[in-house]
Amino acid sequence: MADYTLSVCAEMVFLDLPLISRVERIHALGFGVEIWGWADKDITALAATGARFTSMTGYLTGTLTDEEGIAQLLASAERSLAVAAQLNCPSLNLHGTGLDARGLPVKPVEVVTGQMWLQAADTLRQLAQLGERAGRVFTLENLNLAVDHPGTPFARAADTLALVEAVNSPALKMNLDLYHAQIGEGNLIALLRRCGPAIGEIQVADVPGRQQPGTGEINYRAIARALEQMHYRGVVALEGWATGDSTEALAQFRDHFTC
């Protein structure tokens, strides 16, 4: 068995069950649990499940590059850190800008300027300082522009890597989402090796369809071997839909990452 932790996003599997029941089911199957936004959730009930939470969204609203958005982002990140403490959740996820309920940017960007890059790095430095004080890690997730998140700034894995390396803090890492990276960049094993110590978490789903490994074009068994060769010890999380039965989909996910 690999030395990394397998986790599952409760927002995307067992959809016939209430969220608390989904968390309990995922936990009972031996996986860690991830959630998205926390504002609409019963945090006390989530904590009472005894599940190991590995990641949650680290903000409610905000952006990385404009004054009003930065203030919102920092304020909601502090509130998110308090929730993460209740759940004992080590990682809080960020995006290049705030996303709406459909996953689209609240402020779409066509051209990312040099000034925006500098402002984003400065904002992420401030977030990393919040994370360091709280003993938590913020992770910056790459997204794809072609299918799911058009208009999102700093979306490519190359962009998130550049920002994480510029900030150079143990409290800011990449959430390297291989589903998004396959659509946007490809060459996944070379990408993993290039990102190396900048990775705080890896998220997976197959392409096309954003479903469990083994349903599409990505060779996740080769990905698992590469992670073993890299001595990766972090989280690998399924953030994808199940084809058919969720229990079977999770078993298929585990099988692909059991070396």
DSSP assignment of 28-61, as one string? HTT-EEE-S--TTS-HHHHHHTT--EEEEE--SS
pLDDT for 251: 98
* C-beta atoms surrounding 147 within 10 Å: 14
pTM score: 0.96
| pLDDT for residue 101 | 87
Contact 124, 167 (CB under 8 A): yes
Residue partners of 136: CB distance under 8 A and separation at least 6: 81, 84, 85, 89, 90, 91, 92, 171
State how far Cα 165 lies from the chain centre. 18
- Positions annotated as catalytic residues are 141, 239
Q: Which residue has the higher pLDDT, 106 or 202?
A: 202
Provide CB contacts within 8 A for 122, sequence distance 6+: none
Residue 47: closest CA among 81, 84, 14: 84
Averaged pLDDT of the chain: 97
3 has pLDDT over 90: no
Query: What distances in angstroms separate CA 52 from CA 15, 16, 30, 32, one per listed residue?
Result: 20, 22, 10, 5
- Please tell me the number of Cα atoms within 13 Å of 134 on its side-chain side: 27
- Angle at which helices 157-167 and 188-195 cross, to 10°: 10
pLDDT by residue (tens digit) across 73-130?
999 999 999 999 999 999 999 999 999 989 999 989 989 999 999 999 999 999 999 9
State residue 250 phi and psi, 5-degree precision.
-70, -35
Reported as a single tens digit per residue, the pLDDT across 119-141 is 999 999 999 999 999 999 999 99
What are the residues facing 206 on neighbouring strands? Answer: 211
pLDDT of the residue at 9: 98
Tell me the H-state helices in the chain: 19-28, 43-48, 67-87, 114-134, 157-167, 178-184, 188-195, 220-229, 246-256
Give the integer Cα–Cα distance in Å for 223 and 229.
Answer: 10
| 147-198 pLDDT tens trace | 999 999 999 999 999 999 999 999 999 999 999 999 999 999 999 999 999 9
| Side chain identity, residue 190 | A
Q: Which residues pair with 211 in a beta bridge?
A: 206, 241
- Whether the predicted pLDDT of 1 surpasses 60: no
From CA 25, how far away is CA 211, in angstroms rounded? 19
